[in-house]
Chains A and B, each alone.
Chain A
Amino acid sequence: MMPDLGKYAGAVLSAYGASLAGLIGLVAVSLWQGARMKRTLRDVEARSKAAGDV
């Protein structure tokens, strides 16, 4: 199924590898930051609610 990339196989595969690594890294960091912020905010909101601030 893998196409024959000939003498440019190194260039093509490294371009795809670098790009996909960059995109996957960006998505992973965005998801991780989002989940961490959501969790922290939920904790602080619960604390504020318990203290009668909100």
Chain B
Amino acid sequence: MSIWDYANPKKFMQVSAVLLPWVTGLALSCLAGGLVWGFFLTPDDYRQGSTVKIIYLHVPAAIMGTSAWFMMLVASLIWLIRRHHVSALAAKAAAPVGLTFTVIGLVTGAIWGQPMWGTWWAWDPRLTAFLILGLFYLGYIALWVAVDDPDTAADLTSVLCIVGSVFAVLSRYAVLFWNQGLHQGASLSLDAAENVSNVYAWPLWVCIAGFGMLFVSLVLLRTRTEVRGRRLSALLARERGVGG
């Protein structure tokens, strides 16, 4: 059996119906466990005080804000190359989820930055790239709404997604090669010297897993809605005698 078999809408609906409750359950378990662990059971940081607890929302949201765009990029490329409708619909379904994570990353970053940096916002390379990524999400969603023909909309949004990937890469990796911002480097790294303490890292990993699972769960749910919407459009077109 080929992976492309899952691009068949009927097969996708069958498999996603089985997966959805498990992924949702995992997401809720990880989110509840990670957030309760991080909020109630970790100590204050010696420099940042209790604001360190914002890390359990800010870092996972920011990671998923950029990861969602990369997922949309892969789905868009599959659409452009192989013309599988489910992949285009999955990219469309992921955009509001990625936008929400990006907004949460921006808002929690601003709230965290004010007491730590003394400002809500700085035109730092990572922050600026992340803000532009948020604007790309808005443009991507608006383009899907503005274009009537779904295949044309999928083509145009796929191209927009490829262009926007520059800012997804920048917002994730700018701190590694662009040393002129307030934002610190990676919080989680294989290099122990620059890593956060394990007392914060473990609940953070659980929260990241929770945000990741929540993303998968919401994309499955929303893609199922999009597949049904495509079938509904086909049936209505047939009723009107347009579809033959």
Contact = CB atoms under 8 A, between A and B. Distances in A.
Interface size class of B (residues with CB under 8 A): 35 or more
A45 to B, nearest CB: 7
A15 B214 contact: no
Contacts of A33: 222, 225
A27 B58 CA distance: 19
The 4 closest A-B pairs by CB, nearest first: A5-B50, A34-B225, A19-B57, A15-B111
B197 to A, nearest CB: 17
B111 A26 contact: no
B58 A8 contact: no
Interface in A1-49: 1, 3-9, 11-12, 14-16, 18-19, 22-23, 25-27, 29-31, 33-34, 37-38, 40-41, 44-45, 47-48
B236 A44 contact: yes
Interface string B26-70: 000000000000011000100001110110011001000000000
Contact of A3 (B50, B100, B231): B50
A7 B44 CA distance: 12
Contacts, number: 96
Interface string B202-223: 0000000000001000100110
A33 to B, nearest CB: 6
B228 A18 contact: no
B50 to A, nearest CB: 4
Interface string B79-116: 00000000000000000110010011001100110110
B232 interface: yes
Given A11-B115, A26-B97, A37-B225, 19 more contacts: A3-B39, A3-B50, A6-B44, A8-B50, A11-B51, A12-B51, A15-B58, A15-B112, A19-B61, A23-B100, A25-B100, A26-B100, A29-B96, A30-B225, A34-B225, A37-B232, A44-B236, A48-B235, A51-B239
Interface of B: 39-40, 44, 49-51, 53-54, 57-58, 61, 96-97, 100, 103-104, 107-108, 111-112, 114-115, 214, 218, 221-222, 224-225, 228-229, 231-232, 235-236, 238-239
Interface of A: 1, 3-9, 11-12, 14-16, 18-19, 22-23, 25-27, 29-31, 33-34, 37-38, 40-41, 44-45, 47-48, 51, 53-54
B108 A41 contact: no
